[in-house]
Structure 1
Amino acid sequence: MIRVNLLCVVGRNRTLFQPSRPFPRKLRFFKGVTCALQCKPNYSSKKGTSFPTGNCHQRVVFWDFRNIEDVGFRHFCTAQVNLNCWNCEQPLMQKPAFFCMSCQMVQPPSEGTTYFNIMDCDCAFTLDIQKLQKRYLQLQRILHPDNFSQKSLREQEYSESQSALVNSAYRTLLKPLSRGLYMLELQGLNIEEGTVSAVNSELLMELMEINEALDAAPTPQETNRIGQDTKGKLADLTQQIDSALNKGELQTAKALLTQMKYFTNIEEKVKEKLSRFM
């Protein structure tokens, strides 16, 4: 078994990811690493950057990320490689691998796989929600624990773990706020609970006024008006956050996501108040 302690980038549809700007000078390529899928690609070099030229099945290329500079969220996500099936020890040909293609056994969750990898979508703030929902239903149909009630305890355990992971990935990526917070988490940034560091005094006053108006709203119409204004603000924040993440401006994105948390709370309060009028 080959042990690889690096991260990998997997190009789909036989193409390596192509960044919109040149690779940073500090990006280094290791020519001597064998493909985890036991392929033997050849490599060529142009202006100091190496690319695979052989017939590597999944185009698995290993990079040293210790000195990499930011190249943007949309270009790639990373995941560690699980090499072999636990049952038949054949190479796992898909990443992430839910089932072994040789023996059809359900596999344990791939260590280090991101939610974006699991849901087969770009590592980006703007997602195709219909595609996300379709992927979720597809995975739950094949991984649901009920399908493994007559299988071995190990298979039942793996199906439960995989199904729970898919649920978590879907819930996280479905909403802009949780999706953005997760993207920051992947970069080592977290927003502490109750923080107001990214909210200026003017915005704090605006939030207080909105909350007071919502508490005093006498009719469903007035409550709904506040809700519509809040949706407009959230839509504007969504565009700003998307732009910040695309540019790699993580601190700006963090500040905007903090604001989004407050307006999302107001949106929830609007829904609660409207339900009382029913």
Structure 2
Amino acid sequence: MDAAKNHFELFGLPTSFTVDTNRLAERYRALSTQARADTALATASPAQLDEAYRTLLDPLARARYLLRLHGRELGRGRGNAGLLVEQLELREQLQEVSNRTRTALAVSSVLTDLAEQSAVLAKELRTLFEDPSTDNLELAHDLVHQLEFIALCRRDAEQRRDALQRRG
């Protein structure tokens, strides 16, 4: 890939948390066709295009990437007692799902809660990345950690849902 171009520039998109996924898909198809047709003229290899596309398509990966573009590596988040309590409650809620008689409904409820929390955090990230000040980037860093935890919980809940459907 052209080292001077970041993922957003590669696809001709503004560097923003908000991405026009339709335009991203159109540009991905066009660049993929170009890369296959004439690798000498292509701006990126097919593997690099795939990685850039997946990164920009996924809000969590996109937020991580934006932090890196702003010189922030994703390390440990700042200690947040409220977040820790929330994470413990989510874990307990997932554990309790296994003990309920209406497990499928409980898993569905957990997945809905997690989707709602992700949407709220994504909205906050959008606002923070619009003004990437030092304080906002620090807050965005913490929100990305929260989103990572929610994604982990979502995967656990989806695995439980899938197991239930197989038994079902």
TM-score range, shorter chain: 0.7 to 0.9
1:259 aligns with 2:128: no
The whole-number CA distance in structure 2 between the counterparts of 1:199 and 1:241 is 19
CA deviation map 1:25-70 (0-9, x unaligned): xxxxxxxxxxxxxxxxxxxxxxxxxxxxxxxxxxxxxxxxxxxxxx
Q: CA deviation at 1:216?
A: 2.7
- Residues 194-209 of structure 1 aligned to structure 2 (within 5 Å): 195=76, 197-209=77-89
The whole-number CA distance in structure 2 between the counterparts of 1:233 and 1:277 is 24
- Residues 1-278 of structure 1 aligned to structure 2 (within 5 Å): 109-144=1-36, 147=37, 155=39, 162-192=45-75, 195=76, 197-218=77-98, 219-248=103-132, 249-278=136-165
The whole-number CA distance in structure 1 between the counterparts of 2:14 and 2:79 is 30
Runs of 4+ residues over 6 Å off in structure 1: none
Letter in structure 2 aligned against 1:254? H
CA deviation map 1:136-194 (0-9, x unaligned): 122222323xx56xxxxxx58x86x62111111101111111101101101110112xx
Please report the RMSD computed on the Cα atoms of aligned residues, expressed in angstroms.
2.0
Unmatched 5+ stretches in structure 2: none
Unmatched 5+ stretches in structure 1: 1-108, 149-154
- What TM-score, normalized to structure 1? 0.53
Local SS of the residue matching 2:3: coil
Q: How many residues align?
A: 158
Task: Report which of the two structures shows the higher radius of gyration computed on alpha carbons.
Answer: 1
